[in-house]
Structure 1
Amino acid sequence: MMRLTAVLFFWCSILSFISCSLKQPVPGNVYRGVLADRIKGFDPSQCSDLYSHICQKQVYEPLYEYKYLARPYDIQPCLAESLPRISADGLEYTIHLRKGIFFSDDLCFPSGKGREVVARDFIYSIKRLADVRTRTTGWWLFEDKIAGLNEFRFSTRQLKTSDTADYLSDVAGLAATSDSTLVIILTKPCPYFKYILTMSYAAVIPHEAVEYYADEFLNHPVGTGPYILKEWRRGLRLVFEKNPKYVHGLYPVEGGADDSAAGLLNDAGKPLPFIDRLEYYTFTETQPMILNFLRGNLERSGIPKDNYNNLINPDKTLREEYTDQGIQFIRAEDLDLTYTTFNFKDTLLGSRRKLRQAISLAVDVDKIIDLFYNGRAIRAQGPIPPGLFGYDATFRNPYQGRDVERAKRSLAEAGFPGGRGLPEFEYLTQANTTSRQMAEKFTADMAEIGIRIKIIGVTWPEFLERLKTSKFQIAGLAWMADYPDPENFLQLLYGPNEAPGENAANYKNAEYDSLYRKITVLTDGADRLACIKRMQAIVAEDCPWIFDTHRVSESLCYSWLKNYKPHIVSPEQVKYFRIDTDQRKRMLGQ
């Protein structure tokens, strides 16, 4: 029976691919987007990856959000009525909620009618995330920050899975002084706390949905956002439709001179969203994605490495035959980092610094940039990308940059000359062509110094689960900024953030951790910069990661997609997009 199911699924997938690769009838007011892999679900407590974030933000909303057009990045009220009133000591945040915001209609509510959002819903959502039984990857955002929340988290350790925790009552640092007023009291000043309140982890959820759907809650999102999930064919397609109860979004009225010239203010002040229906298609391989885009079946697309030279001129402009089709070339600096992590829970990799240094020295990052990014990246010397406070363009990591002879000496100093005495290491990656090719390049680099690698390719959800449970030895990762502060990258190596948190390396260094705690309360300045420089030096020497690249984002979109501006920190803000349906019909000849 299992084999029959697999065979049927295979042929259904082939037929689906053939169908989707052909030019499709032009839809109405529909946005057709891309996901590079399947998502885990719609539980905000598990929103640790880009693809889940893209889908969840269509349904859920936090207190604050990023201004769509503003650069540098800044925030504005979303479910809050105004920016928080912060006490002089930086500890107390008073937040007034917008009135008249309702959860979408759902069976979890009496008579199926969504109720109004109140302040206690945010207490519920934050306390649920703090419960150890949710196994959230987002606890690091609130750990040691809100008075009484750590103590509440500790109390949930005593509970069985079936026990009920009280998420609705106040803790010392979370209080609903009225239905429309939330007070948050911090344990210490946190200059970037406002950014935390923009994240999907901080989105509001109704307790009725969690109680009604129980273990199936991750499949039944109920939020306040511009769209409602209507269809989810796992691994293939997700469909969202406009939420009729969403009435609180307006297109921005302010932007830069470039925004006005680009037509990005033509819809200023108009109610959101403009698009009636979103269809997201999963493409785990890049060739079907670009083929569908070029046939007009998608609004936007990344540029696969194997197609790059056929699409882009040497001077980094789009080839004329594609501009004639109304395709636009979009380029933006990323706040991101690609890196290869070692699992410090592995007895050998975690204890032998010289071994990690040898592996790092053997990696040919320049070749990676050439082969897999078409030159669209620079070497990463440390954890902080260009564009953030603390980035030092002059810093040179002593173990970044290919040096095979030095790698061999370091390997011998570790006690393994020529790799003798070492076991075969497992390299965890995703089960797609590009990821496999990158893993094979890593394997070839390691072979030159005598280290054997076994590639383990898995689906994206399984990849995340293995990181969360530390079931790997070496893995290739990437991190895009959640918010524009260096702490967002430095927390990836903070000891208490170990798995299931974002410190997948399970790296611990007492001095680094002490410095990290200092930078969380310091504002940008000389003292914070000195701490960051020392932290960078520590991890450069310890090599918990191989620092690979900082990438540049390049993509394609059709000119019928209006109001599109890349937003690296909060990507795919579809509620601002508009489709010129008449232009799309003309351009596609239908």
Structure 2
Amino acid sequence: MIKSHWALATSLCLAWGAIAPALAQTAAPPPEKVLRYAFPVAETGFDPPQLSDLYSRIITANIFDALYGYDYLSRPARIKPNLAQGMPAVSADFRTYTVTLRRGIHFADDPAFGGRKREVTAQDVVYTYKRIFDPKTKSPSLSGLQEEKILGMDDLRRKAQANGSFDYDTEIEGLRALDRYTVQFRLEQPRPRFIHTLSDPGILGIMAREVVEKYGDQIMEHPVGTGAFMLAEWQRSSRITLVRNPNYREEFYDEQPDPKDPESVAIAARMKGKRLPLLDKVVVSIIDEPQPRWLSFLNGEHDLMERLPQNFATHAIPNNKLAPNLARRGIQMERVPLSDITMFFFRMDHPLVGGYTPEKVALRRAINLAYNSEEEVRLPRRGQAIVAQGFVMPNTGSFDPQFRSEMGTHDRARAVALLDMFGYVDRDGDGWRDQPDGQPLVLEYETLGTADYRELDEVLKKNLDAVGIRIVFRIGKWPEQLKAARAGKLMMWGVGLSASSPDSGPVLERGYSKAWGQGNLARFSNKQFDELYQKQSQMPDGPERDKVIQDAVRILVAYMPYKVRTHRIGTDLMQPWLVGYKRHPNAREFWRYVDVDTARLPKQ
């Protein structure tokens, strides 16, 4: 009997020894799903109305929600409800838009809410749009939203400018909360594409008033939205960590792929019905030099190589095909033409490169003709771009691939002839041209000084050297350069611009006189251009509007406040464990739609 009990105890111990590891294994939490990748330039902050740079807006687009958004897989781009219950009720004259909000959507928890769950209401929408017009916000998006002509909003701003305080509590005709969940926009003029304005969370993500009032001047550091992610840690210009928002609404993957794109169809089938977001965390590093950014991806430290550095295109995608060594590792490639332009501007109120007199226009046009955009595409960009002929971007409604203009022309002989004709000649025999009044002609161009920018700058210098124009490069930091450009302190600066909607019209803000210090960094002013800009904004899509847009582009080509250089081709590389990634031409809030297959992660 004693032996029997001992045997039983032994058997139980042996059984427990077999079961315990299994129980421990069952109890262990699943591996954390983390998306890791890098930005090539530093962020400026996370308060949506204060932003104009792409990379900060990527962060805010994933923290905040707009009323509408884009289906992640649909091509061409298709707008769908986000915070809204359905599509807006739109009047026949495109002047009244009425939106009903979904109920039960809450902001991320924050001390500003005093420990209670804070639901999004129509008043939050009203407050968010009013902040753009508050002079204290100094929003670079002001001119664009002013063109939507929201009734009463400009008057409210003027009163604030007069008395020093913006009255958020005054109700205006053009923006009203009809009830707790219904907001109505009334516009002075027809705006057929106003829904695009309602679909940009990077700038018009809905905010809570008590959060802005609690953090005041520190609001750039305290973004609180309703989006899938929330800011957990920020090491300025170094590392940004975001985590899943536990208050995020119940949302399931239901994106509608282009049936002609088998890759999108496969993604939709694999992801359909999954609860969003799929990731637990996103870690964004700031790595301005292309080589360490590329090596971080090759070494498996990053899951996504967002926009392969052009310096490595010949190694990673020879002949625009994924290199065999990368393919063997299971690395995936997504290569698409971007809805963007690269350009540099001439500050139009600068005494050297600005002005509207014939000799000043001739100088800018000569610089344009001297510059060889095809050489830029072939050498520093390694074929990852096409020469731009104007401002209209690929994947937008008015883009015409057959359009040609002087903007995309390289003609050194014509450049030399223009310079000679208008008195830009070498007067002191030092080999460099001088101004017509005999003063030195020295261009000052702001740049970053990283390897990829150095290659681009070499092409610019080589082409200007060839026509006798001296250029000096001033190396700085991107956020500071942006501030200086807005303040009108730079002579020339090279920037890129990406479309946030499939509409071709907003890019023309770069020449609109009321957008000085905002979108119009060149400070260009032309009455005829302004009239065309306003006219196209009220027209329905179609050939007539396309012609007005091209007429506006021709004015910019003639006066040359900007030299538009290229439209880039984006090549994204993904590690084999990153699932569901697809570049959208307009939307930036892709994080919630991608997953990490933890079973395929490298063993530590």
TM-score of the superposition, structure 2-length normalised? 0.89
Q: In the superposition, relative to structure 1, how do residues 402 and 127 fare at CA in structure 2: closer, same or farther (>3 Å)?
A: same
1:413 paired with 2:421, answer: yes
Find the aligned partners of 2:413 and 2:573 in 1 and give their Cα distance.
42
Counterpart of 2:570? 553
Between 1:449-458 and 1:257-266, the stretch displaced more is 257-266
- Equivalent in the alignment of 2:124: 121
> What are the equivalent positions in structure 2 for 1:104-503 lying under 5 Å apart?
104-111=108-115, 113-144=116-147, 145-160=149-164, 163=165, 165-199=166-200, 200-257=202-259, 258-259=262-263, 261-301=265-305, 302-314=307-319, 316-351=320-355, 352-418=360-426, 419-421=433-435, 422-499=440-517, 501-503=518-520
Offset of residue 245 of structure 1: 0.5
> CA contact under 8 A between 1:349 and 1:355: conserved in structure 2?
yes
Out of 79-88 and 137-146, give the one that drifted further: 137-146
Which residue identity is paired with 2:409? G
Shift of 1:312: 1.8
Residue 458 of structure 1 deviates from its aligned partner by 1.5
Secondary structure at the aligned position of 1:372 is classed as: coil
- How far apart, in 2, do the equivalents of 1:248 and 1:410 lie? 63
Aligned equivalents of 2:195, 2:576: Cα separation in 1? 35
Q: How many pairs were matched up?
A: 556
- 2:4: which partner in 1? none
Q: The residue matched to 2:119 in structure 1 has which SS?
A: coil
SS in 1 for 2:318: coil
In the alignment, the residues of structure 1 paired with residue 299 and residue 77 of structure 2 have an alpha-carbon distance, to the nearest angstrom, of 34
Q: How many Å apart are 1:399 and its aligned residue?
A: 4.9
1:43 — aligned with what? 47
Amino acid across the alignment from 1:156: A
Q: Which residue of 2 aligns with 1:20?
A: none
1:61 aligns with 2:78: no
Structure 2: gaps (5+ residues)? 1-29, 427-432
Q: Please state whether the residue corresponding to 1:38 is helix, strand or coil.
A: coil
**In 1: Cα distance, 2:255 partner to 2:350 partner:** 53
State how far apart, in whole Å, the 2-side matches of 1:484 and 1:222 are. Answer: 28
Letter in 2 for 1:212: K
Question: Which residue does the alignment assign to 2:586?
Answer: 569
SS in 2 for 1:262: helix
> 2:175·2:183 contact (CA, 8 Å) conserved in 1?
yes
Pairwise CA distance, 1:410: 0.8
CA RMSD of aligned residues (A): 1.7
Q: Is the 8 A contact 1:252 1:265 kept in 2?
A: no
CA displacement at 1:195 relative to structure 2: 0.6
What is the CA deviation profile of residues 556-579 of structure 1, one whole-angstrom value per residue up to 9, with x for unaligned ones?
A: 111211111111211351001111
Map residues 5-44 of structure 1 onto 2, 5 A cutoff. 28-44=32-48
Change beyond 3 A, Cα 1:434–1:346: same
**Alpha-carbon offset, residue 261 of structure 1:** 4.3
| SS at structure 2 position matched to 1:520 | helix
Runs of 4+ with >6 A deviation: none
Q: Counterpart of 1:391 in 2: which secondary structure? A: coil
TM-score (norm 1): 0.91
Q: Distance between the aligned counterparts of 1:464 and 1:27, measured in 2?
A: 40
Deviation at 1:506, TM superposition (A): 0.8
Percent of counterpart pairs with the same letter?
Answer: 32
1:97 pairs with 2:101: yes
Distance 2:170 2:106 in 1: 21
